[in-house]
Structures are given as structure tokens and as C-alpha cells.
Amino acid sequence: MLDFVHETAPTRVVFGAGRVADLPAEADRLGLARLLLLSTPGQRARVEALAAPLGARIAGLFAEAVMHVPAETAAAARAEASRIAADGCVAVGGGSTVGLAKAIALETGLPIIAVPTTYAGSEMTPIWGLTEGGEKTTGRDARVLPRTVIYDPALTLDLPSRIAGASGMNALAHCVEALYAADASPIIKLIAEEGVRALAAALPAVVTNPGEIEARARALYGAWLAGTALGAASMALHHKLCHALGGSFSLPHAETHTIVLPHAAAYNRDAAPEAMRRIADALGADEAPGGLFDLARAVGAPAGLAEIGLRETDLDRAAEIATRNPYDNPRRVTRDGVRALLEDAFHGRRPAIG
């Protein structure tokens, strides 16, 4: 018997090559006249050039976004928004920049226009995250959901292959967890399955032929679907574990998701058979965990947590942090089970066939 709740996010999506040119029109549509531009330090010049058509609407630029949104960075960005009397934010970049915009909106309510340049998917979700004292805290709040998202695949053409592959796998993880989320509606599961299909088809082409804009567009389309799924369904073991690893050990966000994903899927395989069937079908693989592992190898992502800076002595603490608070997951989460998952992910082992 069908029994579900489905709520549509009120975000306007503008999609297509060259659509970053719509930025002034979107600011006008929202009635925004004093915008704070946000970027990472390395993207400052690019963001200034892309946003130049906004002209006098640009009231300031804060180019200090970093991954995992440190609380002190968020506080500095809010102070800058207040100092210039900003009435909105324009976030151009990946999950770090969008996450910083959300940290501002969480306390100020300022509307966000997001222009993603990676496949993180954060721009389609009401999920915020802040890191303080070595631990990452996340939550959901409708105030942080961007009002407009401009997806321009031309802006992803210079995304290096090593980053594009891991970023796309990060997006794919949102789809995987939505497919076995207890609160995902049938529509969200359809969106998630299509997201897996689009990303699995596009990412190898993005990596091997970086200039192919059609592949870039398909990957960005998949990222949009992934973010939509992430925003509408509860995330489980995979995301909780990755937040613990990223926030507590400063591991790179996308690479951590890429490495952990096949092992989290293997952990849940027997408890979510229908989701695993749909994932495998969308991947064109015999079974989901191995298919996810093989796709990550095909896009050149690192295989093990040891490769991205985690020490073997950190595994016990990571397992303890990830199991400290209860959360929904298809299979009961235990410390010993998570410790075994982390052991496999640390060494980069291919999940055994179930």
C-alpha cells in the first residue's frame, strides 16, 4: 500500500550552456540590489569576471570559502554581509562556497543565488553544515535553500578530471541513499534512479574527454537530480560517516564520499535489496557495491582512505564518532560493523559480491 509525503522545493532552476548571463535578470526578479559575492580564494578573479554584468548590484566580495565551512569563516562572512548591508548572496563554485552562503542565510535569512561549478548538489538542498572544534554539525532549514540555481555546463569545462570524477561520485552518493531512505517518496526514488543513470553514463566521458560539453551537461543534470534527492530524503550511514571523516579528520569532501560509497552500499546490501537492484540497473552493473567501486576506478578517483590522509590509528575514533548518535539506516548501525566497513575503505578493497 502506497503511503508517503512529498514536498516540492521552491527553488527556480535555470539550466543551459551560457545561462550564467541570466544572473542580472535573476537578481532583478528577486529584487536584489546589494549582493555579496562568495567564492574560494582561488576562484576570486573568475567570480569577479562572471559577476561583472551585475554592475552596481555588487556590494562586496568575500573570497574565503573553504571546505566543511569552519564556524569562524561563517562568522566572518556574516559580519561582512552585515557591514555592507547585503540583501542577498551570489555563491559561485562548489559545495564549500554554497555551504558558506547557507551559513549566512541560516542566521540572516538572506536569499541565495547559486551558480554551481562542480557536481556537489548542495545547491538543491535545505541542508547546512558547520565545523567547530574538530566536529561537523549538520541540520535542515528552509531558509538556507537557494532561491535560484543557475546551472551552466560551460562553467564546468575547466573542472580538472580528478576533481570532476570525485565530485560526480559525491553526487551519486546522494542518489544511492535516497533510494533506500525510509522517507523518500516514489517521485524522489525515480529522480534518484535517473540521477544514478545520468551520472554513471556521463562521468567516464567527462574524465576521458574533458572538453565534451554534452557530457558535462549530462553530469550537471545528474548533479541537479542528486541534489534534489538529497534535499527531500533523509541520509543514512554513508553521509553520517563521511561527515564524521571530513569534519574530524579534515579529509577532502568529494574524495571521502567516493571512497566510502561502495562500502556503505555493501553494508546495506542485504537490508535494501530493491534499492540495490535499481542502483545496479542504473549503473549497468551486475550488483550495486561492486558497480559503484568500478565506476570510481573508471573516473580515476582514489581507492582507499589511506590515499587521502587518514591514518589507520584514526579508524577506531572515526567508528566511534559515526555511531555516537542514532539515525535511520536500512541495516542496524553498530560500531563493530562500521569499524569493519572503515577497514575495507581504508585499504581500498573492492566489496565482495553478496
All structural domains of the chain, each given as residue ranges with its CATH number in brackets, are 12-156 (3.40.50.1970), 161-347 (1.20.1090.10)
Distances (CA, A) of 141 to 12, 42, 245, 288: 18, 29, 23, 32
Measure the CA–CA gap between 324 and 136, rounded to whole angstroms: 13
- Model confidence at 3, pLDDT cuts 50, 70, 90, reads confident
pLDDT tens profile 307-346: 999 999 999 999 999 999 888 999 999 999 999 999 999 9
pLDDT of residue 130: 94
Measure the CA–CA gap between 242 and 245, rounded to whole angstroms: 5
pLDDT tens profile 74-107: 999 999 999 999 999 999 999 999 999 999 999 9
Helix (H, G, I), strand (E, B) or coil at 7: coil
pLDDT tens profile 218-256: 999 999 999 999 999 998 999 999 988 988 898 998 999
Smallest Cα–Cα separation from 220: which of 299, 262, 276, 159? 159
